[in-house]
């Protein structure tokens, strides 16, 4: 009994489609975005279909580990995160997906001997696929999104055999794809380690999601009879605007009037750090700090003021270099009593030199 087996794999690569046989204008009209002088990237999905008799002792056309291992070594390692224009097989050919499909077919045809190769199919986009079965012509089809329940069976394939979804890609792979879409070459020296650096930086800049702010404050609560204002001001703050993922930075001033308990002074800067190391907007950051203190120690009142500069306004958009956003949150007696609120605002305006 003869049966067909199809396995699906994935890799990312960049190319520039250009031929000297056409003018620059003709190349742009023919290849569109793929004629970008800096390259253009795709997430390619490759299907390899083999056939043969179903073995009685395994019930399979061929050992999947053999097929996955061959494709992983000979195809994925060769093309993944590569500039196709630099590979020998495209020295005299335009690295279109059609030509890539033929090249992959020839590699599998020559090297894989455990089953008969029927065809190779490459999906370049959600709407286009290219199929080659050793004939002179390629079949071009319109597609709709497809799904797959494929699961890798060997570590050698890693994420290369994962379904063509965003969630299947690693963080570094997503950063590489972003670089390609910006027109860059992620393989060049200055960018080779950028994906790993970006991942590490973003993990640090958003580490506040892992912390419990209320638990942080409860670790340093002390019973006292002091009932005057406690102020911690000019606390440096750095955060990321959730709209553009650009930094905003400035100073935070926090005050509260105890109601039998005080917080260890170092916990206030730590609380600011927990909330600022998240994707934020300044308004929410201000209220989160105030409401957490109010809920945890139940003081007579809390006041928080943040003064910050936003790079999303300074280096893009309106490009106003000297603008500053000021937000406040007043709870309890800071909201109800003008005298308390005025004292707080007056004290945070005072500089250490008495000005």
Q: Which of 15, 18, 253, 310 is catalytic?
A: 15
The position carrying tokens 């979804």 is 165
Whether the predicted pLDDT of 163 surpasses 60: no
124 classed as catalytic: yes
User: Quick check: is 80 catalytic?
Assistant: yes
Structure tokens at 204: 């640090």
For the stretch 284-293, pLDDT in tens is 999 999 999 9
198, part of any domain: no
Which of the two residues, 294 and 320, has the higher pLDDT score? 294
- Domain holding 8, by residue range, is 2-169
Percent of the chain with pLDDT over 90: 68
The DSSP call for residue 126 is S
Sheet containing 40-53: order of strands:
82-83, 2-15, 40-53, 116-123, 128-132, 139-142
DSSP-assigned letter for residue 198: H
Last residue of a domain, one of 169, 196, 224: 169
Model pLDDT, residue 169: 73
Q: What is the CATH number of the domain that holds 62?
A: 3.30.479.10
pLDDT at 304 over 70: yes
CATH number assigned to the domain comprising residue 244: 3.30.1130.10
Residues with Cβ within 8 Å of residue 255, at least 6 apart in sequence = 229, 230, 231, 232, 233, 302, 303, 304, 334, 344, 347, 348
Instruction: Looking at the structure, tell me whether residues 16 and 163 fall in a common domain.
Output: yes
pTM comes to: 0.55
In this structure, the strands spanning 2-15 and 82-83 are parallel
Classify residue 251: in a domain, yes or no.
yes
Residue length, the chain? 355
Q: Among 169, 200, 233, which residue terminates a domain?
A: 169
Residues 114-160: tens digit of each pLDDT:
999 999 999 987 677 899 998 654 444 443 333 433 333 444 344 33
The answer to whether position 201 is within a domain reads: no
221 and 151 in a common domain: no
Instruction: Verify whether residue 227 is a known catalytic residue.
Output: no
Residue 71 inside a domain? The answer is yes
Are 221 and 339 contained in the same domain? yes
The answer to whether residue 309 is domain-embedded is yes
**Active-site residue (options: 34, 101, 241, 333):** 34
Q: How confident is the model at residue 168 (pLDDT cuts 50, 70, 90)?
A: low
* Predicted confidence (pLDDT) per residue in 240-265, tens digit: 999 999 999 999 999 999 999 999 99
Of the candidates 124, 131, 172, 177, the residue annotated as catalytic is: 124
CB 139 within 8 A of CB 77: no
Active site residue 42: yes
Residues 117 and 258 in one domain: no
> What does the pLDDT average to over 279-300?
96
Within-domain flag for 40: yes
Q: What is the pLDDT of residues 67-110, one digit of tens each?
A: 999 999 999 999 999 999 999 999 999 999 999 999 999 999 99
> Are both 148 and 27 inside the same structural domain?
yes
Q: Where are the alpha helices (DSSP H) in 138-193?
A: 171-181
Whole-number percent of the chain with pLDDT over 70: 88
Mean pLDDT of 45-71: 92
Domain count, the chain: 2
* Average pLDDT, integer, range 56-71: 92
> Any catalytic annotation for residue 310?
no
Per-residue pLDDT, 261? 94
278 and 150 within one domain: no
The active-site residue out of 40, 172, 184, 241 is 40
Q: How far apart are CA 339 and CA 173, in angstroms?
A: 56
Same domain, 79 and 14: yes
pLDDT beyond 90 at 313: no
234 has a pLDDT exceeding 60: yes
162 and 16 together in one domain: yes
pLDDT at 99: 94
**What is residue 166's predicted lDDT score, i.e. its pLDDT?**
57
Looking up tokens 């949150």 gives: 329
Is 182 part of any domain? no
Please confirm, yes or no, whether 149 is among the known catalytic residues: no
Give CA 88 to chain center in angstroms.
Answer: 32
Domain boundary among 169, 186, 202: 169
- Mean pLDDT value of segment 160-171: 56
Q: Are residues 84 and 138 in the same domain?
A: yes
Are 150 and 11 found together in one domain?
Answer: yes
Q: Please provide residue 124's backbone torsions phi and psi, each rounded to the nearest 5 degrees.
A: -85, -40
Do 136 and 229 fall into the same domain? no
Q: What three-state secondary structure class fits 122?
A: strand
DSSP 187: T
DSSP string, 232-275: EEEEEEEEEETTT--EEEEEEEEEEE-SSEEE-TTHHHHHHHHH
Selecting among 42, 131, 310, 333, the annotated active-site residue is: 42
- More confident position, 4 or 147: 4
Mean pLDDT computed over 36-49? 87
Q: Check if 81 is active-site.
A: yes
Choosing from 62, 68, 80, 172, which is the catalytic residue? 80
Among candidates 115, 111, 133, which has minimal Cα distance to 47?
133
Order the strands of the 325-332 sheet from edge to edge. 279-280, 230-241, 247-257, 301-310, 325-332
Name the active-site residue from 18, 62, 68, 81.
81
For the record, the structure tokens of 14 come out as: 């960049």
Position 317 scores a pLDDT of: 83
H/E stretch holding 335 reads helix 333-336
Nearest CA to 255 among 300, 303, 327? 303
Same domain flag for 137 and 261 = no
Beta strands in the chain (DSSP E): 2-15, 40-53, 82-83, 116-123, 128-132, 139-142, 221-223, 230-241, 247-257, 261-263, 279-280, 301-310, 325-332
Whether 58 maps to a domain, the answer reads: yes
């Amino acid at each position: 009994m003869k049966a067909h087996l199809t396995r699906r794999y994935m890799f990312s690569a960049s190319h520039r489609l250009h031929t000297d046989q056409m003018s620059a204008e003709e190349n742009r009209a023919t290849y569109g975005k793929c004629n970008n002088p800096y390259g253009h990237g795709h997430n390619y999905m490759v299907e390899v279909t083999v056939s043969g008799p179903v073995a009685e002792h395994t019930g399979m056309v061929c050992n999947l580990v053999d097929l996955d291992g061959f494709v992983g070594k000979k195809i994925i390692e060769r093309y993944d995160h590569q500039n196709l224009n630099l590979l020998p097989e495209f020295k005299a050919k335009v690295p279109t997906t059609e030509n890539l499909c033929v090249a992959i077919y020839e590699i599998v045809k020559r090297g894989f001997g455990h089953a008969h190769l029927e065809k190779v199919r490459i999906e370049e986009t959600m709407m286009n696929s290219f199929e080659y079965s050793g004939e002179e012509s390629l079949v071009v089809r319109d597609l709709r999104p497809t799904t797959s329940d494929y699961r890798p069976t060997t570590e050698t394939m890693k994420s290369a055999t994962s379904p063509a979804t965003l969630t299947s890609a690693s963080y570094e792979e997503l950063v590489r794809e972003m670089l390609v879409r910006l027109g860059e070459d992620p393989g060049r020296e200055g960018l080779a380690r950028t994906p790993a650096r970006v991942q590490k930086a973003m993990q640090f800049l958003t580490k506040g999601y892992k912390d419990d702010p209320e638990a942080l404050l409860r670790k340093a609560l002390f019973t006292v009879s002091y009932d005057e204002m406690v102020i911690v001001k000019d606390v440096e703050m750095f955060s990321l605007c959730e709209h553009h993922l650009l930094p905003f930075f400035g100073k935070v001033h926090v005050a509260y009037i105890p109601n039998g308990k005080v917080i260890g002074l170092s916990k206030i800067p730590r609380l600011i750090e927990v909330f600022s190391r998240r994707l934020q907007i300044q308004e929410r950051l201000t209220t989160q700090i105030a409401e957490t203190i109010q809920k945890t120690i139940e003081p007579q009142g809390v006041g928080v003021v943040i003064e910050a500069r936003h790079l999303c306004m300074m280096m893009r958009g309106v490009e106003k270099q000297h603008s500053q956003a000021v937000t406040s949150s007043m709870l309890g007696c800071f909201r109800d009593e003008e005298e308390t609120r005025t004292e707080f605002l007056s004290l945070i305006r005072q500089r250490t030199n008495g000005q």
